């Protein structure tokens, strides 16, 4: 490096503010930890990877672009996000999943317990 005439600056050990990639990794890690901590206590932790699509989407919706701060990172990559078509709830919460009438008895409940893991991007 010294003999090629390249300008560079060394960062002291433990100081990660100067590296944008390390800052982005730390932000995503903190966001995913917050999602896991706010999940239902009975949510199986081995299914943590099921939260990744919603974590990426919500983080990109919150993060502004450097080239145009009025746009979110999600809008730059995928266009405007329509919350009416794809509602998002808190990941890991307990829900009741609708079951078709033919699959249950006449007086049986038409829902089974489940967990919300993210929006259905391919369905309306």
Q: Compute mean pLDDT per 10 residues along the chain, 124 residues long, and list them.
A: 71 71 88 92 90 92 88 90 87 87 74 88 73
Backbone angles phi, psi at 94, to 5 degrees: -75, 135
- pLDDT score, position 118: 86
- Residue 37 CA to residue 92 CA, distance in Å, equals 9
Q: What angle do CA 52, 85, 54 make, to 5 degrees?
A: 5
Q: Does residue 50 contact residue 117 with C-beta atoms inside 8 Å? A: yes
- pLDDT score, position 83: 86
- pLDDT score, position 37: 92
Q: What share of the chain is helix, strand, coil (3-state, %, to 5)?
A: 40, 10, 50
- pLDDT score, position 99: 81
Closest CA to 88 of 58, 60, 65: 58
Q: For the full predicted model, state whether its pTM sits above 0.75.
A: no
- pLDDT score, position 103: 62
């Amino acid at each position: 490096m010294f003999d090629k005439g390249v300008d560079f600056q060394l960062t002291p050990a433990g100081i990660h503010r100067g590296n944008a990639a390390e800052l982005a990794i730390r932000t995503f890690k903190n966001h995913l930890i917050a999602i896991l901590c706010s999940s239902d206590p009975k949510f199986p932790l081995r299914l943590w990877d099921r939260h990744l699509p919603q974590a990426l989407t919500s983080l990109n919706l919150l993060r502004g672009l450097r080239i145009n701060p009025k746009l979110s990172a999600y809008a730059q990559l995928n266009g405007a996000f329509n919350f009416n078509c794809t509602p998002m709830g808190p990941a890991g919460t307990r829900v009741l999943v609708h079951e078709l009438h033919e699959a249950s008895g006449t007086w049986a409940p038409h829902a089974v317990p489940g967990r919300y893991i993210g929006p259905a991007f391919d369905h309306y």
